[in-house]
Structure formats: structure tokens, C-alpha cells
Amino acid sequence: MYLKNVHLASIWCHVVREIVRTVHLVNEYFLGIAMKRILLFLGTNLAIVLVLSVTMRLLGVEPYLNANGLNLGSLLIFAAVMGFGGSFISLAISKWSVKKSMGVQVIETPSNSTEFWLVETIRKYATEAGIEMPEVGIYQAPEVNAFATGMSKNSSLIAVSTGLLQQMSRAEVEAVLGHEVAHAANGDMVTLALIQGVVNTFVMFLSRVIGHLVDKVVFKTERGHGPAFFITMIIAELVLGILASIIVMWFSRQREFRADRGGARLAGRQNMIAALQRLNALHPQPLPDRMAAFGIAGGGGSGFKRLLMTHPPLEERIAALKASQER
């Protein structure tokens, strides 16, 4: 049985790799930059959900819940495995997937003065922040942006776009690098993965409880679950998923203010303010969904859209830094 399970796990790991690789190849040949990022994000998450769903079915957890009513303890364990599993698998493969999807070239040995300066600046900031040296990379893109990712603060990747290097001064780039090192040092990647795991768990748990109650109380289904359970569960997942996203995005925006303060400590407050002002003038494009929370800039928005923003408006971030300077 053990060998069978190991073999099964190996097969499904191969399935994940093949799905992501296929999506990446389709992206390369047929799609533009924006669609590439969206499709790779959806493909990666689809692969993760597929593997987890099949695994739980093979273990007999989901059929057991459906056949024997609703055991809240078992349901909570099921929801936690699915909720945290997807979140942490996505985090675990974040460096690998972003290198593939965005073509990040990791600087192993600097080949010119710009690469040497990038590596040494990040090395200096990492030492000051008390973390191990991150991997440093550059990716080809005209938009001005940078991001940090990785499984932990001591195993991170910081990458910058060629557009950022071309359109910002060295002092401004150093401030952006300080911001990204602060993300890594603050453990923002793991923190948001934990938060995402918690809200995923409760979305799955509550949607199934709501579906069960509607099916049994309103539609009076006596044996197993009827269509009302599945329809209600899907609707509840959509509604609760939106509410969960609002919670996660709120935490993401708060961590941007903290990373700005960290960047100001490492690179100088005036340089951090100047970098944000420059970004505001350049109107940077947001990163793919999976990376958006850890970039230097995100898209703007108002009304309900504002609740789903990964980043606060640049004007608010600049004002917050100026206000902290005056205190």
C-alpha cells in the first residue's frame, strides 16, 4: 500500500509538471504577455486543485462526507487540507514557476557593472535586514516593476524588470530593491500564504455547511445530497470567495505600507519617496495575480474594485512616508 501511494504521488506530481509545462509552451507560441500571465496562473492553480481533489477522492474523504451526512470535524479537516494545501503548494513552487512564466534570468555570476551593482546592493540590504542572500534576477519587460517571492525569507528571489532599470535612476532602483528586501525580511510571502490558507479553509467549510442546510432543511432531501446541495455550495463558494479576497487584499495593502517603511530604512526615506513618485508618473502595469502582492506597484481602482487591490494607491503610500517623516 505504501509503495502504491508513493507511485501514485509520483504520477500526480508528473501531471502537475506537464500541465504547467504545456501551458507555458502554449503561452510562448500563441499568446500575448497579458494573456500568458493569466493563463499560466489559471493553469497552475487548476493543476494544484486537480491533484488535491483526486487525492482526497482516492483517500475516500469526500465520498465519505457525501454518503454519511455532514461530519463537521471531518469536513473541517478536509477543508483545511484543501485550503492550506493549495496555498502552500503554490508558495512552494513560486520561485520555479515565476522563473518559467516570466523568463527570469537569475544572476549566478555578474556579467556587467549593472548586474554587479544589483547583486551587491541586495547583498548589503539583506545583511542589514538579517536575512540570507536572496537569488537576484532580471526579466525582460518594458513595464516598470519588481517583485520578491520564495518559500521563506531565507530562501527568496528578488527580480527586477529591464524597464525598471532603464527608466529609473540608481537611487530610485535602490529604494525599490530595499522595498523588496523588506518584503522578504518581513516574511510577507509566508504570511499571506497562511492568511490565504485560513480563508480558503473557511470558504470551503462554510459553503458546504450552507449547501447541506439548504438541501436538508429547504428541499427536504433525505438520502445523500441532491442537486440543491451542489448548486448552493457553488453559489456560496463564489460569494464567500469574494469576501475572502477582500480580506486577503486588505492584509496585502497593509504589508505594502510596512515594506515601504522597510525600504525607507534601507535606502533612505527621500529615495523611497522619489521612487514611488517616479512610479506614479510612469503608471506601472500590475504583475500577474500570483505575484501582484509582492511587487512594488499594482493597478489602481475605485469603489468596489479598490477593495480587491493588492496595493494601496501610490499617492497614499507617498503621503504615509511623508507623514512618518514629519513625526
Q: Which residues are catalytic?
A: 180
What is the rounded distance in angstroms from the CA atom of residue 243 to the CA atom of residue 237?
10
Q: Which residues contact 156 (CB under 8 A, 6 or more apart)?
A: 95, 131, 134, 135, 148, 149, 150, 184, 189
